[in-house]
Amino acid sequence: MKETPLACWIENDCLVIKIGINALAFVAANCEYFWDGESGIDVPTVKVIDKSLFAKEVRRYLAAEEEDGSTLLTKTIEQAIINAVEDGCEGVDHDD
C-alpha cells in the first residue's frame, strides 16, 4: 500500500483519490520546485526522512481552511470540475 502511485477512480459512488506514503515522498523528492539549480548537482534540496509524518503534514495543508472555508483540496476539486465542464464533459446539461 505504501507504494501505491497517485490514482483516482470511482468506487461505491465515491470519487477516490489515493497515494501511498512512499509514492508521496518520491513525488516530493523529485519536485523541481525544491531543486536549487545552483549547486550543479541535479538533486532536490529537501529529503523526506519520516514518510508517515510528512504525509500527515501534507494532509494537514490539503485540509487547512481559509477564511471562506475553502481548502487547497476543495479548490483543486473545483478547478477539475471547471476544466471538465469547460471541455464539454458528459454528465451535465451544457444548455443551461
Q: What is the DSSP letter of 4?
A: P
In a domain, 88, yes or no: no
Could you report the per-residue pLDDT of 17-58, keeping only the tens digit for each?
A: 999 999 999 999 888 887 766 665 666 667 899 999 999 999
In a domain, 25, yes or no: yes
Give residues with Cβ within 8 angstroms of 30, minimum separation 6. Answer: 44
Could you report the per-residue pLDDT of 65-80, keeping only the tens digit for each?
A: 999 999 999 999 999 9
Domain span including residue 47: 7-64
Q: What is the pLDDT of residue 24?
A: 96
Q: What is the pLDDT of residue 42?
A: 65
Query: How far out from the chain centre does Cα 30 lie?
Result: 14
Interatomic CA distance for residues 93 and 96, integer angstroms: 6
Q: What share of the chain is helix, strand, coil (3-state, %, to 5)?
A: 40, 10, 45
Could you give the number of structural domains in the chain? Answer: 1
In a domain, 76, yes or no: no
Beta bridge partners of 21: none
In a domain, 84, yes or no: no
